[in-house]
Amino acid sequence: GAGVSQSPRYKVAKRGQDVALRCDPISGHVSLFWYQQALGQGPEFLTYFQNEAQLDKSGLPSDRFFAERPEGSVSTLKIQRTQQEDSAVYLCASSFPLAGGPYNEQFFGPGTRLTVL
Amino acid sequence: AQSVTQLGSHVSVSEGALVLLRCNYSSSVPPYLFWYVQYPNQGLQLLLKYTSAATLVKGINGFEAEFKKSETSFHLTKPSAHMSDAAEYFCAAGNTAGFKTIFGAGTRLFVKA
């Protein structure tokens, strides 16, 4: 079956522009994660959804970052008024949790590389 | 707070040699531990995971890792490196206290012919 897909794969934005990044998780996966991966670093947790509920958004770096998953499938990460420090690869992952927790294997998409000029 | 430390941002081995990638974690509650691999221009994929069932965990492609609570370590090993193992490897940890998965900074493995 199809894996996790993300679009666009590459995005160049001028500083101050708003961007929207899309994630299509594996069908039936309840859990969805967003990560930010800076160059040379590991993925850094941004937010977690269980179905449509955003259960943890503690990793969102500022109120310019907003994520939603209104119908419990596709998710969108929106960044308002982009800054140069937002340049990174944004990864989406989905999983089917065991025992109600996000401890199972996460399946990652290829990421969206955002460059803010 | 939970953290994951990978010792060595780059490791170079000869083909056929032992691979050892180090990972130490800190967690106030029993952790769930993972190793992921990222090949160039591909998404991360799971190599193996520890969820308390057994301390020695076997994964794909001949990799294994041993959970050592006394050392708070979860090092990844493979007896004999292959050229196709060249990639970036990430150790990660989660726990029952929340939903976050914390990743280490990664170790890039180079395999010399």
Q: What are the tens digits of pLDDT across the range A32-80?
A: 999 999 998 999 999 999 999 999 999 999 999 999 999 999 999 999 9
SS3 A2: coil
pLDDT of residue A105 exceeding 90: no
What local confidence, expressed as pLDDT, does residue B54 receive? 82
Tell me what pLDDT residue A67 has: 98
User: Which pLDDT belongs to residue A98?
Assistant: 59
pLDDT at residue A99 in the model:
52
Distance of CA B75 to the CA centre of its chain: 6
Q: Cα–Cα distance between A34 and A52 in angstroms, integer?
A: 14
Q: Which positions in chain B touch A107 (Cβ < 8 Å)?
A: 43, 45
Q: What SS3 class is residue A15?
A: coil
B31 touching A (Cβ < 8 Å): no
Residue A1 has pLDDT above 90, yes or no: no
Residue B84 CA to chain centroid, in angstroms?
17
Q: Any CB–CB contact under 8 A between A71 and chain B?
A: no
Sign of CA dihedral B29, A106, B110, A111: negative
Q: How far apart are CA A20 and CA B23, in angstroms?
A: 35
pLDDT-derived band at A103 (thresholds 50, 70, 90) equals low
Q: Which tens digit of pLDDT belongs to each residue from B23-34?
A: 999 876 668 899
User: How many angstroms separate the CA of residue B30 from the nearest CA in chain A?
Assistant: 12
Are residues A110 and B102, on separate chains, in Cβ contact within 8 Å?
no
Gap between the terminal Cα atoms of chain A: 37
Q: What is the mean pLDDT of residues A88-109?
A: 80
Is residue B5 a contact partner of residue B102, using CB atoms and an 8 Å limit?
A: no
Helices marked H in chain A — which ranges?
A: none
How large a percentage of chain B has pLDDT more than 70? Answer: 94
Q: Does pLDDT of A100 surpass 50?
A: no
**A59 CA: distance to closest CA in chain B (Å):** 9
d(CA A86, CA B78): 37
pLDDT of residue B57: 92
pLDDT (tens digit per residue) in A10-20: 999 999 999 99
CB contact under 8 A, B44 and A44: no
Annotate B12-58 with three-state secondary structure.
EEECCCCEEEEEEEECCCCEEEEEEEECCCCCCEEEEEECCCCCEEE
Residue B42 to residue A110, Cβ atoms within 8 A: yes
Which B positions 57-86 lie with beta carbon below 8 A of chain A? none
Residue that wins the pLDDT comparison between A22 and B50: A22
Distance from CA of B18 to the nearest CA of A (A): 24
pLDDT of A102 strictly over 60: no
